[in-house]
Structure 1
Amino acid sequence: MAANNSLNGGNSSLKIISGRVIFVQVLVFVFLCINSLLIMTFFMKDYFYSTMRYILFAMTILSDCLYLLLTDILLILSYFGFIIQMWFCLVIYMILFLYTYLKPVTLTAMTLERCVAICLPLRHSVLCSTRSCMHCILFIHIISCLPCIAVLSIFFTSSTHGFYIQKNVCFSEMFIFHKWQGHLPSAINQFYFLVMVSIIVICYVQIIKVAKAASGENKKSTWSTLQTNFLLYINVRYFNYITFILAPRCLSPLIYGLRDEMFFHALKYHALCGLYKKTFGFLK
Structure 2
Amino acid sequence: MADNNSMPGGKSWFQQFNDQVIIVQIVVVIFLCINLLLIVTFFSKDVFYTSMRYILFAVTLLSDSFILIMSDILLILTYFNFTMQIGLCIIIYILLSLYTFVTPVMLTAMTLERYVAICMPLRHGELCSTHSAINCILIIHGLSSVPCIVVFFNFFASASQNLLTQSRLCSMNIFVFLQWQDHVKFAVFQCYFLIMSVTIIFSYTKIMKVAKTASGENKKSTWKGLRTVILHAFQLLLCLIQLWCPFIEAAVLKIDFMLYIHVRYFIYITFNLAPRCLNPLIYGLRDEKFFLALKYCGPFRYHC
Q: What band does the TM-score fall into relative to the shorter chain?
A: 0.7 to 0.9
Aligned residues of 1:51 and 1:129 also touching (Cα < 8 A): yes
Asked if 1:15 corresponds to 2:6, the answer is no
> SS in structure 2 opposite 1:122?
helix
- Equivalents in 2 of 1:266, 1:61: separation in Å? 17
Aligned residues of 1:35 and 1:254 also touching (Cα < 8 A): no
How far did residue 268 of structure 1 move? Answer: 2.3
Matched AA of 2:125: S
Instruction: Choose from 259, 264, 267 the match for 1:232.
Output: 259
Matched AA of 1:172: M
How far did residue 91 of structure 1 move? Answer: 1.2
Aligned residues of 2:28 and 2:68 also touching (Cα < 8 A): yes
- Equivalents in 2 of 1:6, 1:200: separation in Å? 48
> SS in structure 2 opposite 1:44?
coil
The residue that corresponds to 1:34 in the other structure is: 34
1:95-110 map, 5 Å: 95-110=95-110
Q: Which has the higher contact order (CA 8 A, sep 6+)?
A: 1
In structure 2, the gaps of 5 or more residues are 238-251
How far did residue 207 of structure 1 move? Answer: 1.8
Go from structure 1 to structure 2 and tell me whether the alpha carbon gap of 1:251 and 1:199 turns closer, same or farther (over 3 Å shift).
Answer: closer
Deviation per CA, 1:56-80, whole angstroms, max 9, x where unpaired?
Answer: 0011110000001110111111111
The residue that corresponds to 1:112 in the other structure is: 112
Aligned residues of 1:37 and 1:271 also touching (Cα < 8 A): yes
The residue that corresponds to 1:49 in the other structure is: 49
How far did residue 244 of structure 1 move? Answer: 1.1
Go from structure 1 to structure 2 and tell me whether the alpha carbon gap of 1:116 and 1:14 turns closer, same or farther (over 3 Å shift).
Answer: same
The residue that corresponds to 1:280 in the other structure is: none
Aligned residues of 1:34 and 1:254 also touching (Cα < 8 A): no
1:13-162 map, 5 Å: 13-162=13-162
1:237-248 map, 5 Å: 237-248=264-275
Aligned residues of 1:52 and 1:133 also touching (Cα < 8 A): yes
Go from structure 1 to structure 2 and tell me whether the alpha carbon gap of 1:6 and 1:55 turns closer, same or farther (over 3 Å shift).
Answer: same
The structure whose Rg is larger is: 1
How far did residue 198 of structure 1 move? Answer: 1.0
Identity among equivalent positions (%) equals 52
Matched AA of 2:97: F
> SS in structure 2 opposite 1:81?
coil
Instruction: Choose from 269, 272, 285 the match for 1:258.
Output: 285
The residue that corresponds to 2:163 in the other structure is: 163
Aligned residues of 2:61 and 2:279 also touching (Cα < 8 A): no
| RMSD between superposed Cα atoms in Å | 2.7
Deviation per CA, 1:25-55, whole angstroms, max 9, x where unpaired?
Answer: 1111111011111111111111101100000
- Equivalents in 1 of 2:73, 2:158: separation in Å? 27
Aligned residues of 1:57 and 1:253 also touching (Cα < 8 A): no
Moved beyond 6 Å, runs of 4+: 7-11, 219-225
- Equivalents in 1 of 2:30, 2:148: separation in Å? 30
TM-score calculated relative to the size of structure 1: 0.88
How far did residue 270 of structure 1 move? Answer: 2.5
Q: How many aligned positions are there? A: 274
How far did residue 22 of structure 1 move? Answer: 1.3
- Equivalents in 2 of 1:7, 1:192: separation in Å? 41
Go from structure 1 to structure 2 and tell me whether the alpha carbon gap of 1:116 and 1:16 turns closer, same or farther (over 3 Å shift).
Answer: same
Matched AA of 1:142: G
Aligned residues of 1:68 and 1:246 also touching (Cα < 8 A): yes
Matched AA of 1:165: T
In structure 1, the gaps of 5 or more residues are 276-282
